Amino acid sequence: MKRYLVLVILILSLLETNLHSEYLGWRRIINRATFDISVNPKNPNTYIAGGEGRLIYRSYDAGKTWDTVIVNFRTAGGRFNNVLIHPVDTNIILIGGLNFNVIERSTDGGLNWDVVLSKNYAIELNGKSMVFKPDAPDTVYAGDFQYAINWRSTNKGLTWDSISQLRRTVQIPDGNGGFTDSSWSTNIGAISIRHDSTNVLVYGSMHGEMFISTDGGVTWNFRGEVVKPDSAQFDCEFTRIVFSDRDPRTGYACITYLFSLNKSNGGLYQTTDGGWNWKQIAFPDTSIWALACRGFGKTDEIFIGGYSEDFYVVDSSKVPGAGIVRRSQDGGKTWWSYDPTMDWFLKDPKSNANIYGINFPTSDRGYAVGQAGVIMRTDNGGKDWNTFYNPGKENLTGVVFTNTQKGYISSASGDIFKTVNGGAMLTKSYSDNKSQFYSIFSVDSSTFYACGTNGVIIRTTDDGQKWTTQITNITDKLNSITFFNDKLGWAVGNDGVIIATTDGGSTWNPQSSKSKFNLNSVTFTSASIGFIVGDSSTLLQTTNGGTDWKKIAVPISQHLRAIAFAKDDNQIGYAGGNEGVIIKTSDGGNTWNRSNTKVARNLYTIFCNNKDSVVVGGQYLCILNTLDGGKYWYIPSWGSGPLSNMWSLRYLGTPGSERLFMASEAGLFVLDYPSYIEQLKDPSMNNGLIATADRNTLKVKYTLAHTNSSSVIVRLCDIEGRTLFSKQFNTFGESQLELEEYLPLIHGAYLCQVMEGDKVRTRILIVE
């Protein structure tokens, strides 16, 4: 017991002294696209980052402030994805990259630049393919990916020689049914040097090939293709190779690919014999560009960052990569995901807004609304969409039109907007800054209902001139409201809440859902038959007006967000939800089958024009429509989503206290404590967390600090920072979270952490 009391005292001292660690995880220090980063080894406060359009960024105060340098002249393209500071003469900086065509050099810390390698063809560096020789820092290698030239400089990058070309023997048909040997050059993707034997160079190609040299890059051994031979071989790019500082015979390499044909060829590869042989150890379906590793006790800590260029760049079902940031502290056996906490940058919020409401007053005219005040219109049944100019930034959550010109829009700002000119101009019909509205419904051209937070329901019967608040006697957030006629209505919300009215909203009474999941959307096809969808693939059905609800089996596991039935055939219905899920029923809701949408974005709203014509809205301005009952889905609207491609991961700084840097299209990030044991600046912020643990069970009770938090992560770590348990909870509108999890734990000290937004609550646990 005394030993663990000592550990607790040490941890508490860290809580008091590490006051600068008030943030959670990665912290962005440049908000513009970056592609590589280098830190002055003699002055760890000096950073040089490679940008786009012949720009570099410099900081002399550890990233607090930056200046911008134009390398000779400004262009629209060009990405500096190889930035090196000389390890001894730190005034010397070398840069190269893509669409840059040369290698340039500065001798004054980046102020002035000279071209040092230029030919009558472009000298381009694809992945991390320029590196100093560890024991002879005046020697630097660069691998040109276009012509597979291995370039070497022995005078700090001032002049360069082409010492070899990477070639391999291939067999080509001879025209007589046989094959003949031929030699071809490859395309260099990434290079690395063994730090225990610096004449050993390992190069990876753009075709999934590995080459090794034992004489400093003069001659090469082709080690083979690590990818399957029937793939699109040109689309398997080695972009980073790195050897462990713990064991130089252990190395890691990652592959980037663009086409889904190559899905099993991606991921992380490992060598344990110094680069002679490689095997795939993780993420075969994932396109990875950035990679870093360092020794972690008797094994390696590894970070990877993903990259995708597929048409559906955010829709990871095609080519997973964008937005993926993972860490392993056991050499790649198990992984911790940073994905939910990354602060990716949306270049244009309006062009990437989530679509939350769709309504069609006629079969041709339709409206869609969403985040950042986005309002869109179609005049051909959803085939094409145009965006209205709307200076507002409100989160628009629902929309209903009674004709092509007049409509109402609900918002999470507590406003109900009205338009009488087809969305061209909005006026406030109702405003309550204490409420947030999430659904709106029209009974007729004068009667409208809206529902939202704290059980609020409001009604107008005179076309918006006066709104009255209904008495619901609940405090839960209401997500959806519907009426079958002017008397019969239902509203559903968080924690399985269902309330119903039989007198047009004058009184509301609870109904039992027998569910604790959040219920997100409700619809009725008759006075008796209704359906509700919710989190964790919840789909409920009633056949007696809601007196009884039963759960219907569905062939998916994702959250369901919306449900709608066809007006011309109440046997046909559609429900949609997270990760592009759409399910369809053709027998009145008794059985459901999944429809292939080809996207993986979350879907939030559905409108059925008729049994065959359906329009769906979702994440990042995504709108889908089908004209054949879901056999084929068109995508007339989409946004690019967050800029979340990673280009570089590097441990930089004083050995033993390195920082981990990540250059990405969303900016430059730093993770000051890769062990991920972040503590609190203000210990009083621990209020609200109760945690206990024994040999079998972890129990957590947590009161949320913010009612609008969308998710909370609960995590248990050991003292070395290894994650033993992690689970994310969707908590929008929730006030408290409770968890009881079976975990076989040995005796020792642990940290229980609850992460809500940018705050971390920590509790120290002792298991006897």
CA separation for the pair 264, 227 (Å, rounded) = 8
Smallest CA-to-CA distance from 606 within 731, 480, 489, 491 is with: 480
SS3 58: strand
- Give the per-residue pLDDT at 662: 97
| Residue 275 · residue 212 · CB < 8 Å | yes
**Environment class of 371 (CB within 10 Å of its CB; exposed 0-12, middle 13-18, buried 19+):** buried
Q: Are both 126-341 and 684-767 of the same fold?
A: no
How many C-beta atoms surround the C-beta of residue 135 within 10 A? 12
**Environment class of 180 (CB within 10 Å of its CB; exposed 0-12, middle 13-18, buried 19+):** exposed
CA separation for the pair 249, 266 (Å, rounded) = 22
Smallest CA-to-CA distance from 63 within 660, 675, 678 is with: 660
In the 8-state DSSP scheme, what is residue 388? P
148 to each of 67, 166, 187, 194, how far by Cα in Å?
Answer: 35, 5, 5, 20
H or E segment and range at residue 183: strand 179-185
Q: How many CA atoms lie within 13 A of 684 on its CB side?
A: 0
Q: 545: alpha, beta or left, given left = phi > 0 and alpha = psi -120 to 50? A: left
Smallest CA-to-CA distance from 661 within 557, 261, 653, 225 is with: 653
H or E segment and range at residue 725: strand 723-730
- Give the per-residue pLDDT at 3: 41
SS3 295: strand
Smallest CA-to-CA distance from 387 within 351, 413, 360, 361 is with: 351
SS3 684: helix
User: What is the residue type of 438?
Assistant: Y
CATH code, 354-637: 2.130.10.10
φ, ψ at 2 (rounded to 5°): -60, -35
pLDDT digits (tens, 9 = 90+) for 166-197: 988 766 666 677 767 666 788 999 999 999 99
Smallest CA-to-CA distance from 642 within 374, 316, 396 is with: 316
CA separation for the pair 568, 586 (Å, rounded) = 13
Give the domain 684-767 fold: Immunoglobulin-like (2.60.40)
Each domain of the chain, given as residue ranges in start order, spans 126-341, 354-637, 684-767
**Taking the CA atoms of the chain, what radius of gyration do you get in angstroms?**
29
| Residue 70 · residue 50 · CB < 8 Å | no
CA separation for the pair 687, 703 (Å, rounded) = 8
| Residue 477 · residue 534 · CB < 8 Å | no
Please list, in sequence order, all residues whose beta carbon lies within 8 angstroms of the beta carbon of residue 465, skipping any fewer than 6 positions away: none
Q: Where are the beta strands (DSSP E) in 638-721?
A: 646-652, 659-664, 667-671, 689-693, 697-703, 711-718
| CATH superfamily label, 126-341 | YVTN repeat-like/Quinoprotein amine dehydrogenase (2.130.10.10)
Q: Which residues of the chain have pLDDT under 70?
A: 1-25, 170-175, 179, 181-183, 229-234, 310-317, 656, 672-687, 707-709, 719-722, 732-733, 758
> How confident is the prediction for the chain on average, in pLDDT?
88
CA separation for the pair 437, 457 (Å, rounded) = 9
Task: Please state, for a pLDDT cut of 70, what percent of the chain lies above it.
Answer: 90
**Environment class of 176 (CB within 10 Å of its CB; exposed 0-12, middle 13-18, buried 19+):** exposed
The sign one gets for the Cα dihedral 258, 259, 265, 267 is positive
- Give the per-residue pLDDT at 310: 54
The residues that bridge with 522 in the sheet, in sequence order, are 532
pLDDT digits (tens, 9 = 90+) for 1-48: 444 444 444 444 443 333 233 334 688 999 999 999 999 999 999 999
- Give the per-residue pLDDT at 717: 83
